[in-house]
Structure 1
Amino acid sequence: MNRPIARFGAAVLFAALALPALAHEASAASSTPTPQDGYFQTITPVAEGVWLIAQPQPFHIQPIGNVVVIEQSDGLVLIDAGGSPGAGRRIVELVRSVSAKPVKAVAITHWHGDHVLGATSIVQAWPTAEIIATDVTDAHLRGRSMKAYAKGSPDAALQAQFDKRLDGAETFLRDTLAKPDLSTRERDGFEASQRLLAQYRRDTRDLVLVLPTRTFVDSLKLDDARRPVELRHPGRGNTDGDLIAWLPRQRVMATGDLVVAPIPFGFNAYPADWERTLRAMQAQHPAVWIPGHGAAMRDDAYVGRVVDLIGRTRDAIAPLAAQGVTIDEAKKRVNLSGDRAHFVGDDAWLTRWFDRYWTQPFIDAAWREAKGEPIEQGEG
């Protein structure tokens, strides 16, 4: 993903900080997430033969993407693979806790690392599993977007570069916590993030990117007597290669990061296409929405709020772009505080990240769209 702090994406949301690298401190490396941090995934049923693997706490600066487990007659289909080898190993354990069947396929919703970098552990457990993606996502995984990650086997030089990026994230967290003006909520959030980053370091040892073995352009059906799965590329939105999974009999929709709660991610998005894509998904009338991050939803109320947010932001930006206003000036003039309150209320921690993960990057995307400038995917 090109995302957080400036980019949220492929693997290290922190990476865009571009801060100087420092050796990580032993105290941080030894810390472990607490149960209250809600970092380690759990598995819950969402329909008969369908489970969701997700982090109990739905928002983290460096998240792990949701994984959907679908039982078919001859094996299991996973939607996404988690964000690191360590997360992937935990996913394997959780999958085995609900079914003895093998994983036969893993469908990757988009190229961001928090949804794909756990695949190496999954294919170690089930070597014959297919890795499926849209042709556009496949190109990102093989190309510039994920050039920082080893393919096939670990690469010591690339691993060292990745670790150096995490040093910068640790510096950012330590420096931020030294500021006296943080609210209690913000301080708690940053202290939890230190613990999570220490775990993420452990989870991202021996990073290897597993590439797709099967691709499609518009749709691909994984047929089954009880739980057929329709994989679709509904159009551009959060990325240009988004994949969704539709279970027509159960009316379950797995969205990838086209839907993320409690804070949508707006980095390098395609605003008009995203709005159309979500409306088309709503027209299917899912009984269950499974977002890329966050809990399963039993109606489309949240999806409707995201659609409205996209539309209002585009409407606010279009006249400014026509007047020749710069991106920086547009960000100053457009006020999304009312919309932000609908998503995060007065939570100081989430308010901070709503502006970093949505307001700033999505205004940038909406401005580029209005000016007719290209929107390109970033690097993980």
Structure 2
Amino acid sequence: MGAKPFASSGDLADKEQTLEVLADGVYALTAEGDPNVGAVEGEDFLVCFEALATPTAAREWLARLREHTDKPVKYLVLSHYHAVRVLGASAFDAEVVIAHDDTRALIAERGKQDWESEFGRMPRLFKEPESIPGLTWPSVTFSDRLTIPLGGDRGELELRHCGRGHTEGDIVGWLPQQRILFAGDLVEAQAALYTGDAFHLDWSTSTLDSVAALDAEALVGGRGAVARGRDRVRAAIEQTRHFLEVMIREVRAEQERDGTLKGAFDACHAALVGTYGRWPIFEHCLPFDVARLWDELSGVERPVIWTAERDREVWDRLQG
């Protein structure tokens, strides 16, 4: 058997996009495990959630959205700093770009390296990369909670920081009136987790507890299908928690027996592949997931910056 293609570099097949209307004026676009995006109508404006990897890709999403509404985009919400979520922002022409305080700091610290890293890992998502004007910078940030009144009888959109998880600065978008949650990459529904910049111990406990406590009736995760109904929402949250808990158990056990990073990767792969191995980006993510978790359990508080060079080194060491 030949070496596995690097990350998602061999995934070149187009994915079928599905636009779903979750409630009056609430939209989600899913794409067979590619990053999800969403939008919420205010009385006379739109809030868009996530920006995709390039302006060209974002404009295609906006063209689908314009089949339902012609309201201008007033707010663009970025759940975290990863390139495939933010670099398409210029296409929205939003008045306000919102993110967490830590997301802005992470863009300043490692945004350029992350752009180069993700382009190498997932080239198909970067449709017409020359359309990217540069790093995306939020114009408004917050630390705990920010509320956007939607006007009329539409209620409000609450943006919340539930704790450290997929990154330091993840935020969710919560519609309490409709009981719909845009969870970003804090929750995946039938898609593997990327945890290369994560805080696994917080994420698997207090952060997911805070997400679950919202008691959503529909949940749009970072990837995968929309979870509809409380049972499926809970299942998506618990699937995410289980993936994290298995990794923590296996990596901790390998460290306790004075094992190696490769041993930890092999143990995690064996423990997870039966349940998650056929889900999107499993093979892509796991080497980077295990490398970060190994560091975290070794006392490295903040994730080491991923560069294109470090990506290849870790891949070749663990998955090559």
TM-score, scaled relative to structure 1: 0.69
Is residue 205 from structure 1 mapped to residue 138 from structure 2 by the alignment?
no
Separation of aligned partners in 2, 1:81 and 1:74: 21
- Per the alignment, in what secondary structure is the counterpart of residue 376 of structure 1? coil
**Counterpart in 2 of 1:45?**
21
TM norm structure 2: 0.81
Write the deviation string for residues 20-61 of structure 1: whole angstroms up to 9, x where unpaired. Answer: xxxxxxxxxxxxx87xx325x442211222000222x22xxx
2:293 is aligned, of 366, 369, 378, to: 366
Secondary structure at the counterpart of residue 262 of structure 2? helix
Deviations 1:50-102 (A, max 9, x none): 000222x22xxxx4x32111011131111111111111111221222111211
1:139 aligns with 2:139: no
Aligned amino acid, residue 343 of structure 1: Y
Task: State the superposition RMSD in angstroms.
Answer: 2.9
What secondary structure does 2:255 align onto?
helix
* Residues 88, 118 of structure 1: 8 Å contact kept: yes
Q: Which amino acid aligns with 1:144?
A: R
- By percentage of residues, which structure has more helix? 1
Paired with 2:213 and 2:6, the residues of 1 have a C-alpha distance of 33
Kept in 1, the 8 Å contact 2:254–2:263? The answer is no
Does structure 1 residue 311 correspond to structure 2 residue 250? Answer: no
Distance 1:375 1:210, change over 3 A: closer
Structure 2 equivalent of residue 278 of structure 1: 208
1:219 aligned partner: 145
User: Displacement, 1:312?
Assistant: 2.3
Distance 2:175 2:242 in 1: 26
Tell me the secondary structure at the aligned position of residue 70 of structure 1.
Answer: strand
- Kindly indicate whether the alpha-carbon contact (under 8 Å) linking 1:146 and 1:379 is maintained by their aligned counterparts in 2: no
Contact residue 83 and residue 111 of structure 2 kept, 8 A: no
Q: Give the secondary structure class of the aligned counterpart of 1:46.
A: strand
SS of residue paired to 2:276 = helix
Cα offsets for 1:322-347 (capped at 9, x unmatched): 34323223223x24435322234xx4
The CA distance in 1 between the partners of 2:256 and 2:276, in whole Å, is 29
Q: 2:264, 2:156 → 1: CA distance?
A: 46
The gaps in structure 1 that reach 5 residues or longer are: 8-12, 18-32, 150-161, 170-192
Alignment of 1:44-83 (within 5 A): 44-55=20-31, 57-58=32-33, 63=34, 65-83=35-53
Q: How does 1:259-270 map to 2 (within 5 A)?
A: 259-260=187-188, 261-270=190-199
Residue 284 of structure 2 corresponds to residue 356 of structure 1: yes
Shift of 1:285: 1.3
CA–CA distance in structure 2, aligned partners of residues 339 and 256 of structure 1: 22
Greater CA drift, 103-112 or 276-285: 276-285
SS of the residue 1:282 aligns to: helix
- AA of the residue aligned to 1:363: V
- In the TM superposition, residue 6 of structure 1 has moved relative to its aligned partner by 7.2
Distance 2:252 2:218 in 1: 34
Q: Which has the higher contact order (CA 8 A, sep 6+)?
A: 1
Alpha-carbon offset, residue 268 of structure 1: 2.3
Between the aligned partners of 1:289 and 1:267, the Cα distance in structure 2 is 23
How many angstroms does 1:139 deviate by?
1.4
Greater gyration radius: 1
Q: 1-side partners of 2:253 and 2:192: how far apart?
A: 26
Mark the CA change 1:201 to 1:69 in structure 2 (over 3 Å): closer, same or farther. Answer: closer
Question: What percentage of residue pairs aligned between the two structures are identical?
Answer: 26
Give the drift of 1:266.
Answer: 2.2
Counterpart position of 1:320 = 254
Which of 222, 241, 252 is the equivalent residue of 2:169?
241
Bigger strand fraction: 2
Q: Which residue in the other structure is 1:343 paired with?
A: 276
Structure 2 distance, partners of 1:342, 1:141, is: 34
- CA shift for structure 1 position 135: 0.7
**Deviating runs (4+, > 6 A) in structure 1?**
4-7
Question: Structure 2 stretches of 5 or more lacking a match?
Answer: 308-320
Q: By how many angstroms is 1:111 displaced?
A: 0.6
**Is contact 1:133-1:243 (8 Å) kept?**
yes
**What code does the residue aligned with 1:269 have?**
A
The CA distance in 2 between the partners of 1:303 and 1:341, in whole Å, is: 19
